[in-house]
């Protein structure tokens, strides 16, 4: 049953004409779910057409987002998707992605090793502010708040640049 769901989702995304933005972190329970929610909200505000999804490079598959990630998102008024569960990145995800965003140089190296064909479309989310976004897991709420703000800045700047480059279009 799970394979059918994954396959159906793959078919749905692979036949979608919109660009696919893939956000990666280590476990897909802190940074990437927050960034996914932020990208989705900012695209909605700007009326940009794209699909965003998040995955983990070493995800504890099926785990809910970290309680601090949920709390920060709720406090900021951009709640995480209720059904969000950690998912591991696959070759199919990487093939579908138009652009891949990672949180740090270690993630970028791992993508280069595991998915060499995605190297040219993989970028740091914090590239435009010359920053890596540290993993807040096992840290206090304030670390999640910082990661949220960094993800938001990165999402806004990337959306602006992708739109200016003609990679994202406004929907009517």
The catalytic residues are 25, 31, 135
**Which three-class secondary structure string do you get for 127-151?**
HHHCCCCCCCCCCCHHHHHHHHHHH
Q: Per the structure block, which two tokens stand in for 52?
A: 């965003």
CA distance 123 to 104: 9
CA distance 122 to 55: 14
Question: For 27, how many CA atoms within 13 A lie in the half-sphere containing its CB?
Answer: 14
């Amino acid at each position: 049953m799970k394979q059918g769901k994954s396959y159906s989702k793959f078919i749905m995304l692979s036949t979608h004409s919109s660009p696919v933005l893939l956000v990666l972190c280590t476990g897909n329970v802190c940074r990437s779910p927050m960034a996914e929610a932020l990208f989705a909200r900012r695209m909605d505000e700007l009326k940009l057409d794209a699909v965003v999804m998040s995955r983990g490079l070493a995800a504890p598959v099926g785990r809910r987002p970290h309680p601090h990630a949920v709390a920060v998102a709720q406090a900021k008024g951009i709640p995480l998707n209720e059904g969000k569960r950690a998912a591991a990145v696959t070759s199919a995800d990487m093939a579908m992605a138009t652009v891949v965003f990672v949180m740090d140089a270690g993630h970028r190296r791992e993508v280069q090793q595991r998915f060499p064909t995605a190297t040219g479309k993989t970028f740091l989310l914090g590239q435009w502010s010359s920053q890596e976004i540290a993993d807040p897991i096992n840290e206090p709420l304030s670390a999640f708040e910082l990661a949220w703000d960094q993800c938001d800045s990165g999402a806004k700047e990337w959306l602006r640049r992708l739109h200016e480059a003609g990679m994202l279009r406004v929907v009517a």
